[in-house]
Amino acid sequence: MKTIGIIGGGQLGLMIAEEARRLGVRTVALDPAPDAPAFAVCDERIVAPYDDAAALEELCRRSDAVTYEFENVPGGVLVPLAEKYNIPQGFRPLYDSQDRLREKENAWAHGFETPAYAAVDDEAGLRRAVAQLGYPCVLKTRTLGYDGHGQAVLRSEADLDKALPLLAVPCILEAFVDFDYEASLVMVADGERVVTFPVGRNVHRDGILDLCFVPAEGLSPELTARMRATGEAFMRACGYTGILAVELFVKGDRFWFNEMAPRPHNSGHWTIEGCSTNQYRELVRYLTGEPLEEPRQTAPAVMKNILGRDLEAARAIAAEGGDGVHVHLYGKSESRPLRKMGHITFTDMTAEKYAARWAERFEQ
């Protein structure tokens, strides 16, 4: 029986471990929190910080293949381990995504369009970049930003002062894209094939993914085909294998690369019940050397993220049960209003049906 090591024991690690178990694969996870969600399901646990080289080595020793669900694993720790143990995705896709400037340069170099951008290191540089890109624009820290943290939208001169605190660290200024909607491409590559999950429409609230509608209304087959072709060519040109999620802005028949993460993605949770195979399962198949399966959507789906503020509503919906209502609660011991506590996938569900039947159950 094979064992997969997972760096990170959050909800993504939990769902990797659940799929691994269904496929008869053991898991061992490493996380600093003793009550990390994945620990409830995986076969072995290592409680240690992400930069604990000895603990990470122990994880590698116990595993046939190692993956990560946490994207800020430091290269200084991972690179030497990747030389000695089987970490098939390696450090490259993490390295390419850990700095927003490098990430956008890499996206451009390998076939994606991105919003116009400029590196910004100080106030004078910010003024120069604003003069070049114009308002509105978005200032973001180059590293460690997530879910809208570490960024500010600048709409006029009056917003410049508010943004200055961000410049304590190197930043990037991006042109603001007045997109129709956001979407993501979740791909898994094994060195020969690249499989891509159906593309949905992502809706954010408070900077956090709130809803995902699949298929995305208004997304033409032609545009979907171009997104998939660009994503696949990108994977091949970068030489990436394993899983990669690319977030896109979509307007009319154009799309732009926003950011990427070499791990399963929140917008892909719906694949567990709405697709012939799911993002976690294909990642496990890749890690264990099984041939990849091309995903096929089996039902229209809506995924609702459950943050702390909607936890009670989600528990009530779980208790009611019902066809096509799939409630996942991650078992986190502490709930906070904006913490991701679970998600619900509604299958055989459209945006209209969701708005009429379910939206009012959650905080508006």
- Tell me which of 145, 200, 231, 262 binds ligand AMP, using CB under 6 A: 145
207 binds ligand AMP (CB under 6 A): yes
The answer to whether the beta carbons of residues 169 and 239 sit under 8 Å apart is no
- Tell me which of 259, 273, 282, 310 binds ligand AMP, using CB under 6 A: 259
11 binds ligand AMP (CB under 6 A): no
Backbone φ and ψ of 50, nearest 5° = -65, -15
182 binds ligand AMP (CB under 6 A): yes
176 binds ligand AMP (CB under 6 A): yes
138 binds ligand AMP (CB under 6 A): yes
Identify which of residues 258 and 305 has a Cβ nearer to ligand AMP in the complex.
258
- Residue 225 to residues 150, 183, 198, 277, 311: CA-CA distances in angstroms? 33, 14, 10, 20, 37
27 binds ligand AMP (CB under 6 A): no
* Stretch touching ligand AMP by CB under 6 A, among 161-169, 171-179, 189-197, 220-228: 171-179
Residues paired with 291 in a beta bridge: none
134 binds ligand AMP (CB under 6 A): no
Strands 44-47 and 26-31: parallel
* Stretch touching ligand AMP by CB under 6 A, among 11-19, 48-56, 101-109, 173-181: 173-181
Residues paired with 257 in a beta bridge: 248
Shortest distance, position 209 Cβ to ligand AMP, whole Å: 8
Distance CA 265, CA 273 (A): 15
Q: Annotate 126-139 with b (16+ C-beta within 10 A) or e (fewer).
A: beebbeebeeebbb
Shortest distance, position 230 Cβ to ligand AMP, whole Å: 18
102 binds ligand AMP (CB under 6 A): no
282 binds ligand AMP (CB under 6 A): no
DSSP 275: B
- Tell me which of 3, 11, 230, 258 binds ligand AMP, using CB under 6 A: 258
Q: How many chain residues bind ligand AMP (CB under 6 A)?
A: 13
103 binds ligand AMP (CB under 6 A): no
- Residue 321 to residues 262, 298, 305, 318, 325: CA-CA distances in angstroms? 34, 21, 17, 5, 7
Identify which of residues 154 and 317 has a Cβ nearer to ligand AMP in the complex.
154
Identify which of residues 6 and 138 has a Cβ nearer to ligand AMP in the complex.
138
- Residue 42 to residues 25, 34, 249: CA-CA distances in angstroms? 10, 13, 35
Q: Annotate 310-338 with b (16+ C-beta within 10 A) or e (fewer).
A: bbebbeebbeeeeeebbbbbbbbeeeeee
Identify which of residues 132 and 335 has a Cβ nearer to ligand AMP in the complex.
132
Nearest to 143 by CA among 159, 166, 160, 125: 166
* Residues at the interface with ligand AMP (CB under 6 A): 115, 138, 145, 148, 174, 176-177, 182, 204, 207, 247, 258-259
